[in-house]
Chains A and B, each alone.
Chain A
């Protein structure tokens, strides 16, 4: 039957016990303790343990609701089961505490420190502490079970309150510096203690701030969402585009200086977002699992460094950054072809491994003494920050030229259409306006080529961040446009079924190579920006982990989903950080790859389509179930028709 029994509770409890012990043993709990969330009760360290009995206590009486059967109503049973689960978790933890008290395991398990037992009992000490642990376990397990009794809306509201308190408490850095920059020092000092933890009263305030508006605005948000959902697909796309454009514009224009630390993190987020968008084209659209994506990143970084730096060992044209970009694109495209061609006819998993090999080969080539004269060997190449000028005038002229051409074309097309139909179309006017604006931009750009000359330096994190943002916008725009075009459709067909795509007239060679090249160019942008940002590039910055982390971003966000990738980069890189770059939570430093690994596994097992899937892919990987539904329904239809 589907109702849980005490056996299930014990089983889940045992699992929870193992998780708790594991977290304690690898030292996560203790090293996270430095970050307090709510003073003085709760630190991230305790949080990393306490969620376990609660979540499992909730999970144990999870109901599989089969169609046509009524779920058992929640009741005291749920609480009891939760309590049992919590008890088992606590008992196991108690056993563990006794064990580490009796034996010295430190020889083998380096993180089982003498203070661990003390820490786990929250300083109560041995005999009493065990009772304390048991009590907490039972209470949390029961609370988890009791969640079933809370009706949906309060439950989600409560969840949201907890989430906000945690978010504000954990990334206080972000909120703190935003508040201070906006001149709201008062709020800042109300929210946070001197040691940047949240006192209990501001936790209450945050809770109120979440609950009150949500109660007041109740139906409003839902109505907006409903309206959005009923829009036709093209309308939704347009709204999405407008929102994204607004976000970029905001990021570009707001005069807030977030402070070097936050800017640094934001720049890293942007870099990974850029590469996530690029990998999304290769993996998400075309379905080619490229594990050596870092190779293109490296190629971009090295080519940008060599072209712009005065310190490159052999070849120093010392171009301005924007003058180097066309060459970077060219080199990256070539690299894309070189990696893409040999793997064209390989099946998917071999493609993954071979691209991985290419990724490592790239690093070994850049590192080898053999080519030291070209790439600087293990010492890398110093990128001269003063030399990276962005000649905005030329950029402006280029954009103007493109706009001029598009405007003219559009004006012309609309006019001929209007002539056919005999009425004047407003689009012809729009085309003319675009053309005129383009011409103006072109003129200004050419007249003042060094207008707004912009010197970006690695240390100037704010400029780097805005700079990265421009490229992220470009990448997002490219993906967005290609997604619903002939090229994008060909990619998706390729992803769905390569043989059939070929039989439907799609040239697999061209489609795969364009995907590889587009992805490579976007990664190379990332590399070029990385080179400016970091100042000196070493081969050891381009390891496989980098590829994997970008892959995690794409998969957690949702393959083929632009907003998914954006969110994935923002949250994962923002909080945990990149392979070598720190995120907001520095405590995670030693554990972030562990967490990335767990995320990959969990996503593949539970939600392969990602957190914010592309609408179309929503249920792709749960197809089996869905197919069955469809089949059953079809059978039923048939029977109905036959009758």
Chain B
């Protein structure tokens, strides 16, 4: 099988690189394996009648959707800025938070109107939140990022980290560090409504509808309006765009403004769903929304939305999925794993024999871990079950693992990235 020639090629490989390739392969294989175990296990448990009820599932899905749409709205800001300027605007989570906070004060002041004429009050709250977020985003761009145009991309990233802390603690200094609770939702939103055969909490439906509408608006803006076309031109190529008479500065400001507006809308929705807001509210949703943007393909607007929804769903169903690991792996699964692994071994041997040296490491990984997989599948796996207590605590961890997994396995995201600044050797 292994000709002496192949052996010599393997031995000539550089050991650390080979080891790293190996390790990465193992990590990816493990992520995929655990992921599929969780999913299959959940389904199997459900079939066996041990899992969640259908109603509970619909709650999980709708909750995930609502959460995901908000992630998507925030992710748009990350995605657009990355597309146009090529850096991660770490302070975007804080833009979201300031919108949410402003929304609270307006809603609080309009408490009467909020009960009697909710749509009107809601509109005003959203508008003021959007105004605040937009203003904050634009001011941040003017102060902190514009002087850094063209600097290596880590510089604005570090600046934005500083900005993020500044905004958090400035807000704390201004309005204090207590949780601010939005006024109670009107009747209609607290109840469950029937929609497409599902029983949905009104507020979640509202979140989804408003988010979809904002998305549609943004979509129209970017694809139909002149400014939108300019934005797209700039995110294709800044230099050519400016040669064609597009005012790049204006486009950048617009990008920040639009991203801020979306974050402002998300801010109000978020605070209505979770009821309260304080100065650190922006941090986690910010990172998760960035994850969503990467997951969908950064620079890609549809991708941001898709990534958001996917992440929301994964997160919402995460604890249940972890529960799926309780499912005892049956012998048939073990055999399936073995068969797949065997296929991996054969595949790997083919790569090893034919491949250019650079891909040898990967091929060897297939062979090695395939062999392990064969043994594991037949000997160890059948009958294994893992019980993880307190799975709901691991929700955030799942989001972070998704981020790491995506960047390891498919860094361009689901729909592919679109960037103005491409790294060329």
Contact with B along A23-41 (1 / 0, CB 8 A): 0011110000000000000
Q: Mark A105-120, 1 if CB is under 8 A from B, else 0.
A: 0001111000000000
Q: Are B166 and A605 in contact (CB under 8 A)?
A: no
Chain B hits for A370, CB < 8 A: 388-391, 393-394
Q: What separation, in Å, do the CA atoms of A341 and B165 have in the docked complex? A: 29
- CA distance in complex: A361, B395 (Å): 11
User: Chain A residues with Cβ under 8 A from B118's Cβ?
Assistant: none
Q: Is the CB of B162 within 8 A of A598?
A: yes
Query: Interface 1/0s, chain B 393-407, versus A by CB < 8 A?
Result: 110110011011001
Report whether B174 and A604 are in contact in the complex, using a CB–CB cutoff of 8 Å.
no
Interface set, chain A 326-361, CB cutoff 8 A to B:
337, 341-342, 344, 346-350, 352-354, 356-358, 360-361
Given contacts A361-B400, A604-B158, contact A597 B16 (CB under 8 A): no
Whether A349 contacts B157 by the Cβ 8 Å rule is yes
Which of the listed residues A26, A361, A591, A601 has the most CB atoms from chain B within 10 Å of its own CB? A601
Pick from B148, B168, B393: contact of A368, CB below 8 A: B393
Task: Please state if A591 and B173 are interface contacts (CB–CB under 8 Å).
Answer: yes
B131-149: CB near A (< 8 Å → 1, else 0) gives 0000000000001100110
Instruction: Indicate if the CB atoms of A350 and B157 lie closer than 8 Å.
Output: no
A609 and B26 alpha carbons, distance in the complex (Å): 40
Complex CA–CA separation, A358 to B37 (angstroms):
23
Tell me if B170 and A289 are in contact (CB < 8 A): no
Q: At the interface, is chain B mostly helix, strand, loop or mixed?
A: helix
Asked whether, in the complex, the Cβ of A369 is within 8 Å of the Cβ of B390, the reply is yes
In the complex, whether A621 has a CB less than 8 A from a CB of chain B is yes
Determine how close the nearest CB of chain A comes to the CB of B107; give it in whole angstroms.
Answer: 13
B175 at the interface (CB under 8 A from A): yes
Are B20 and A594 in contact, with the CB atoms below 8 A? no
Contact status A591-B169, CB under 8 Å: yes
Give 7 CB contacts A-B under 8 Å.
A337-B23, A350-B294, A360-B396, A368-B397, A509-B20, A545-B165, A608-B155
Q: CA of A510 to CA of B18 in the docked complex: distance in angstroms?
A: 11
**CB of A268 closer than 8 Å to a CB of B:** no
Q: Which of A369, A590, A593 contacts B165 (CB 8 A)?
A: A593
Please, which residues of chain B bring their CB within 8 A of the CB of A599? 162
CA distance A582 to B14 in the complex (A): 49
B157, B176, B390: the one contacting A110 at CB < 8 Å is B176
Query: Is B12 on the interface with A (CB-CB < 8 A)?
Result: no
Q: Is the CB of B390 within 8 A of A601?
A: no
Is B148's CB under 8 angstroms from A594's CB? Answer: no
A80 at the interface (CB under 8 A from B): no
Contact A348 B16, beta carbon cutoff 8 Å: no
State the CA gap A352–B408 with chains docked (Å).
14
Distance of B93 from chain A, by nearest CB (Å):
12
- Not counting A349-B157, A358-B400, a sample of 20 additional A-B residue pairs whose C-beta atoms are within 8 angstroms of each other reads A22-B170, A110-B176, A348-B153, A353-B403, A361-B397, A361-B400, A368-B390, A368-B394, A370-B390, A370-B391, A510-B16, A591-B169, A593-B169, A594-B169, A597-B166, A597-B167, A597-B169, A604-B158, A605-B147, A621-B151
Are B144 and A347 in contact, with the CB atoms below 8 A?
Answer: no
Chain B 363-410 residues near chain A, CB threshold 8 A = 388-391, 393-394, 396-397, 400-401, 403-404, 407-408
Q: How far is the CB of B193 from chain A (nearest CB, A)?
A: 34
Chain A interface extent, by class:
35 or more
A344 to B16, CA, bound (A): 12
Q: Mark A582-598, 1 if CB is under 8 A from B, else 0.
A: 00000000110110111
Cβ contact within 8 Å between B88 and A349: yes
When distances are taken between beta carbons in the complex, the residues of chain B under 8 Å from A624 are 150
Q: How far is the CB of A303 from chain B (nearest CB, A)?
A: 20
- Interface residues on chain B, number (Cβ under 8 Å): 59
Please name all residues of chain B whose beta carbon is closer than 8 Å to the beta carbon of A555 when the two chains form the complex. Answer: 158
- With a CB–CB cut-off of 8 A, which chain A residues contact B397? 360-361, 364-365, 368
Residue from the list A27, A289, A591 in contact with B158, Cβ < 8 A: A289
Q: Which residue of B lies closest to A604 (CB)?
A: B159
- Which chain B residue has the least Cβ–Cβ distance from A602? B162
Q: Is A367 in the interface zone, CB < 8 Å from B? A: yes
For the complex, would chain A's binding face be called helix, strand, loop or mixed by DSSP majority? helix
CA distance A350 to B295 in the complex (A): 12
**Nearest CB in chain A: distance from B77 CB, A:** 15
Shortest Cβ distance from A503 into B: residue:
B425
- The answer to whether A364 touches B88, judged by C-beta atoms less than 8 angstroms apart, is no
Residue of B164, B173, B294 touching A26 (CB-CB under 8 A) = B173
**A620 to nearest B CB, angstroms?**
10
Decide yes or no: A349 and B153 within 8 Å by CB, A370-B390, A593-B168 being known contacts: yes
Specify which chain B residues have a CB less than 8 angstroms from the CB of A352 in the assembled complex.
Answer: 88, 154, 157
Is A551 an interface residue, CB under 8 A from the partner? Answer: yes
How far does the Cβ of A480 sit from chain B's closest Cβ, in whole Å?
A: 25
> With an 8 A cutoff between CB atoms, is B256 at the interface?
no
Query: Does A442 interact with chain B (Cβ within 8 Å)?
Result: no
Which residues of the partner chain A approach B158 to less than 8 Å between Cβ atoms?
A: 289, 551, 555, 600, 604
Q: Which chain B residues lie closer than 8 Å to A608 at the CB level? A: 151, 155
Q: How far is the CA of A110 from the CA of B157 in the complex (A)?
A: 31
**B159 and A605 form a contact (CB under 8 A):** yes
Contact assessment for A346 and B411 in the assembled complex, using a CB-CB cutoff below 8 Å:
yes
A604 and B403 within 8 A (CB) = no
Measured CA separation A407–B407 after assembly (Å): 49
Which residues of B from 162 to 198 have beta carbons under 8 Å from A? 162-170, 172-176
- Residue of B27, B144, B151, B174 near A601 (CB, 8 A) is B144
Interface residues of A in 364-417 (CB under 8 A from B): 364-365, 367-370
The reply to whether B24 and A341 form a contact with Cβ atoms under 8 Å apart is yes
Give the complex CA separation of A354 and B155 in angstroms: 17
Say whether, besides A357-B400, A593-B169, A608-B155, A601 and B163 are in contact (CB < 8 Å). Answer: yes
Q: B152 — which chain A residues lie within 8 A by C-beta?
A: 621
Distance in angstroms between the alpha carbons of A604 and B159 in the assembled complex: 6
A513 within 8 A of B: yes
Which residues of chain B come closer than 8 Å to A548, judged between CB atoms? 161, 165
Tell yes or no: B96 within 8 A of A by CB: no
Is B71's beta carbon under 8 Å from chain A? no
A581 located at the interface, meaning its Cβ lies under 8 Å from any Cβ of chain B in the complex: no
Complex interface residues of chain B between 247 and 274 (CB less than 8 A to chain A): none
In the complex, A160 has a CB within 8 A of chain B: no
Partner of B166, one of A360, A507, A601: A601
Q: Is there an interface contact between B16 and A509, defined as CB atoms closer than 8 Å?
A: yes
Contacts of A341 in B (CB 8 A): 20, 23-24, 27
Interchain CB contact under 8 A, A597 and B175? no
Residues on B with beta carbons closer than 8 Å to the beta carbon of A354: 403-404, 407
Check if A499 is an interface residue, CB within 8 A of chain B: yes
Which chain A positions have C-beta within 8 A of B396? 360, 364
A548→B20 CA distance, assembly (Å): 28
Q: Which of B150, B157, B404 has the most CB of A within 10 A?
A: B404
Complex alpha-carbon distance, A451 and B208, angstroms: 71
In the bound complex, residues from chain A placing their C-beta under 8 Å from that of B343 are none
Q: How far is the CB of B311 from chain A (nearest CB, A)?
A: 13
Q: How far apart sit A341 and B17, CA to CA, in the bound complex (Å)? A: 10
Which residues of chain B come closer than 8 Å to A110, judged between CB atoms? 174-176
